Amino acid sequence: MRFSKDHEWVEVAGDVATVGITAYAAEQLGDVVFVELPAEGATVKAGENLAVVESVKAASDVYAPVSGEVTASNPALTDNPETVNDSPEAAGWFVRIKLADPAEADGLMDRAAYEAFLATL
């Protein structure tokens, strides 16, 4: 699993990346009430808006950590947005992306580097 500075995680299998937000981000947001996800087939570029996560009092933009085409959005989040709080780095995944560049995620932090980064915040 790799991590971005904006608190997204990426799990790559072949040329498909699963993307979500980290436990730290979910903790900061508080109770998630809604997640606005992109449509299947949408193209995303690293650094651009991927999704919006809403808590009761705030709406936060989530940025794509990698580029590619969205092949799936997590259906569980429609009826159960609390999954993001319960299991942010597993069952609470946001989208699956067919990577434009399968090696792109290698440029992101590994868990140790991410935890070190969190310590500086």
List binders of another protein among 75-94 (CB under 8 A): 81-82
Q: Do residues 92 and 80 make contact, with C-beta atoms less than 8 angstroms apart?
A: no
Alpha helix ranges (H) inside 1-121: 23-29, 76-79, 83-86, 111-119
Per CB under 8 A, 115 contacts another protein: no
Kindly provide the residue ranges of all beta strands, DSSP E only, lying in the chain, ordered along the sequence.
2-3, 8-13, 16-21, 32-36, 43-44, 49-55, 59-63, 68-73, 95-99
- Which residue from 111, 12, 112 is spatially nearest to 67, judged by alpha carbons? 12
Stretch that binds another protein, among 1-9, 57-65, 88-96, 113-121 (CB under 8 A): 57-65
Stretch that binds another protein, among 1-9, 29-37, 86-94, 109-117 (CB under 8 A): 29-37
Judged by beta carbon, residue 30 or residue 47, the one nearer another protein is: 30
Strand partners, 49: 63
Per CB under 8 A, 54 contacts another protein: yes
Per CB under 8 A, 68 contacts another protein: no
- CB 71, min distance to another protein, A: 22
Q: Which residues bind another protein (CB under 8 A)?
A: 31, 33-34, 36, 54-59, 81-82
